[in-house]
Amino acid sequence: MIGKAAIDVQALHKSFGDLEVLRGIDFVVGEGEVVCVIGPSGSGKSTLLRCVNRLEEPNSGRILIEGDDITDPDADVDAIRTRIGMVFQSFNLFPHLSVLRNLTIAQRRVLKRSKAEAEDIARQTLERVGLLDKINAYPAHLSGGQQQRVAIARALSMKPDLMLFDEPTSALDPELVGEVLEVMRKLASEGMTMMVVTHEMGFAREVGDRVVFMDEGVVVEEGPPEQVITDPQHERTRKFLSMVL
């Protein structure tokens, strides 16, 4: 782990009815660190990510964001959430709003920024993801890769301290994956704290500071990418990687 903890998950349990999805997860992401979470479908990766910003309610355990306990009953969850950017598999853009409006609506409603300031920040973040020329376009007129880059820009427009990515390329055609991963690479190089649930092993190996392998609701193995991906210690990790590599 690099520096102090940006995300600190302690003894996290989450069930849906009788199905226990997370079984006592302990998980830390350091400030400025890129942690890639890999594992088979149904292993609890996305549920873990959704618990981190309280889109899912944990059954027990604690989650600290930069030292603030987001699971505390008295926590101001909305205030803590403003420090967390989230990018989903499906782009979740408002189809009836232009790219500019997609990027300014939360800035104005949640952060109470003026129209001028919100639009200025939107332009800056669109430039960062290489889409300033699409500022007046509507989502339907963009490729999937462009829509996901707009979704990343929308999250960045809130000026978060850390970013969560839930399989951000899984809904994309293969030829569009690269442009999204390139934006994420750039963010990582700028020092953004990132927790990335992904099946892109090349990205995990190249960009991740640490790789965490999950299976059946537990962390099976974690370590530097060259260790976990190239020389896994656990039989379950080896079996999974033999199927995906």
Kindly tell me the sign of the dihedral angle through the C-alpha atoms of 158, 160, 166, 171: positive
pLDDT at 232 over 70: yes
Above pLDDT 70, what percent of the chain? 99
Closest to 24 in 3D by CA, of 61, 55, 49, 71: 61
Tell me the pLDDT band of 2, cut-offs 50, 70 and 90.
low
pLDDT digits (tens, 9 = 90+) for 31-80: 999 999 999 999 999 999 999 999 999 999 999 999 999 999 999 999 99
pLDDT digits (tens, 9 = 90+) for 173-198: 989 999 999 999 999 999 999 999 99
Mean pLDDT within 125-140: 97
pLDDT digits (tens, 9 = 90+) for 80-106: 999 999 999 988 999 999 999 999 999
Nearest-5° Cα angle at 235, 229 to 240: 55
Kindly tell me the sign of the dihedral angle through the C-alpha atoms of 231, 212, 240, 25: positive
In the block, residue with structure tokens 């003026």: 114
**186 and 128 in contact (C-beta within 8 Å)?**
yes
Q: Phi and psi for 33 in degrees, rounded to 5?
A: -95, 150
Provide the pLDDT for residue 245: 82
Provide the pLDDT for residue 120: 98
Q: Phi and psi for 10 in degrees, rounded to 5?
A: -125, 120
DSSP E strand boundaries for 39-108: 60-65, 68-69, 84-87
Q: Phi and psi for 173 in degrees, rounded to 5?
A: -65, 145
**148 and 180 in contact (C-beta within 8 Å)?**
yes
Mean pLDDT within 133-160: 97
Mean pLDDT within 207-233: 96
Tell me the pLDDT band of 1, cut-offs 50, 70 and 90.
low
